[in-house]
Amino acid sequence: MALKISEIWIKDARGHIAHFAPAISVILMGTVRKTIALTDRQDGWIKAQIDAGRYTRYTNDSECIRDLIRREQERSAEIDAIRAALIEGESSGEPRSFDASTFTLKILRAHG
């Protein structure tokens, strides 16, 4: 579930109403309680990361694990974008010859 606040109406001391749009975007995410099993080694690694200050904004294992999941989601999205770009390039037609020297001169002439 997400809630996005995109408009704010404010009444000042004189009773005038001001409208700000878009002023704030807030997304509230619901949470689901899960039980996961970790090896002793994995648990020790998470605790060591927190104790070493690598996750200074986290105070518990759950916050650390959620951050690791978010990072993996971002990494997966980046990989998907690269794959899509490669497919687009492969689908764009037959390759043409490329002369790096000519290209460099063209760029230098255009941009000094």
Cα–Cα separations (whole angstroms), residue 78 to 68, 75, 82: 15, 5, 6
- Residue 14 placed within a domain: yes
Mark whether 43 and 76 lie in a shared domain. yes
- Residue 111 placed within a domain: no
Tens of pLDDT along the chain (112 residues) come to 444 445 555 666 666 665 555 544 555 567 888 888 999 999 999 888 888 877 667 778 888 888 899 999 999 999 999 999 999 999 999 988 999 999 999 999 999 7
Structural domain of 58: 34-90
- Residue 105 placed within a domain: no
- Written as six digits, the tokens of 9 are 């109406």
- Bond before 95 cis per omega within 30 degrees: no
- Residue 109 placed within a domain: no
- The structural domain count of the chain equals 2
Q: pLDDT (tens digit, 9 = 90+) per residue, 5-20?
A: 455 556 666 666 655 5
Please state the pTM of the whole predicted model.
0.55
Mark whether 48 and 25 lie in a shared domain. no
- Residue 112 placed within a domain: no
H-assigned helices in 4-99: 40-51, 61-90
